[in-house]
Copies of this chain bind each other. A is one copy, B any other.
Amino acid sequence: MIAIMSDDPFDHIPATALRPFAVDAGQPLFRRDDRPTALYRVDAGRVALHRVTEDGQRVTIAQIGPGETLAEASLFADTYHCDAIALTETRGVAVDRAVLRQRLRSDPDFAEALVRRLALQVRTERQRAEIMSIRSARDRTFAALACFGQSGTITAFAASIGLSQEACSRALAELVAEGRVMRLGRGRYACRSVPPR
C-alpha cells in the first residue's frame, strides 16, 4: 500500500528546518523555565520529564521513548514546565518552534497530520491510564493485551502496565487456563479479541 500523505507530521517539515540532536545519559535536553525553542522527536534512547518541588523532591512526569515526541504543550507556553533529562544516550530530531507554529498555520496538510498524531496520542495515553487503574493483575493484563497486544518481551509488557514480570506471567497463565488468552509460544501471548486498530 502506498501512502499518499505521510502520517508523520515531521515529514511535512523541510529537512532544512530539522535539527538532529544527541545527548548522553544524564544530560538535559532542556530545563524548567527555559524558553521553549523546539519540539523534539526521540528516535533512539529514552528521556524522562521531571518536575522538582520547592523542597527538592523530584517527580517523574513522563518518559518518552523512540517514535514519541516531547514538549508538544510547550509549543504554546512561555517556558518549559519541567526538566527533560536523558535516561540513556538519546538522539532524535528537533523542529524549531517558530517554524512549526508558522507551518501549522500555513500548511493544512501539516496541521492535519499533527492533529491526527496528537489525537492518537491522547487515545493511547487514555487507554494506558484506564488500564493502569484496573486493580486485579489478571484483568489488567487481559485489558492491556486486548488493547495493545504484546509487542516485546513479557518483562517489557509487564513494566508498561505497572506489573512485575512474575505477576504478569502468572496472570497470563491464569488467562490461558480460563481460555481467554491464547499462548502462541513461550513468552508469546495473544488475546482472541477484535484486533486493535
Contact = CB atoms under 8 A, between A and B. Distances in A.
Q: Report the interface size class on chain A.
A: 35 or more
A162 B146 contact: no
Nearest to A106: B108
Contact of A119 (B59, B75, B146): B75
A24 interface: no
A104 to B, nearest CB: 6
A139 to B, nearest CB: 9
**What copy number does this chain have within its complex?**
2
Contacts of A193: 51, 53-54, 57
A72 interface: yes
Contact of A142 (B57, B81, B106): B57
A174 interface: no
B115 A54 contact: no
A163 B30 CA distance: 33
A156 interface: no
Nearest to A77: B197
Interface in A21-78: 32, 49, 51-55, 57, 59-63, 72-73, 75-77
Nearest to A63: B130
A183 interface: no
Given A53-B193, A72-B122, 8 more contacts: A53-B192, A60-B143, A61-B147, A62-B126, A72-B119, A73-B122, A75-B119, A121-B122
